[in-house]
């Protein structure tokens, strides 16, 4: 799986969680604290944040409950 696939899956999941309401690239970038251009490049596969694939692989090694615990801890930082 490519990094841009991960960003597209996560973006679509957040839209789904938001009752299908579209989230603009600008709004997503703002919520992540990055420029819209950077987020767009990640989503289109023109740039790849190096840590993203490693983080996803590490999360993939955890069971579902542990993923939830880890993500909640990260969000509190």
What pTM value is reported for the model?
0.76
pLDDT exceeds 90 at position 27: yes
How do residues 37-75 score in pLDDT, each as one tens digit? 999 999 999 998 888 888 888 888 999 999 999 999 988
Q: What is the spatial distance between Cα 37 and Cα 69, in angstroms, rounded to a whole number?
A: 31
Surface-to-core class of residue 43, CB atoms within 10 Å of its CB (0-12 exposed, 13-18 middle, 19+ buried): buried
Q: What is the spatial distance between Cα 39 and Cα 63, in angstroms, rounded to a whole number?
A: 28
In this predicted structure, what is the pLDDT of residue 38? Answer: 94
């Amino acid at each position: 799986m490519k990094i841009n696939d991960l960003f597209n899956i996560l973006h679509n999941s957040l839209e789904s969680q938001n009752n299908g309401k579209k989230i603009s690239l600008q709004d997503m970038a703002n919520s992540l604290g990055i420029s819209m251009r950077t987020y767009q490049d990640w989503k289109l596969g023109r740039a790849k944040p190096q840590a993203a694939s490693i983080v996803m692989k590490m999360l993939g090694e955890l069971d579902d409950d542990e993923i939830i615990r880890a993500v909640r801890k990260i969000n509190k930082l």
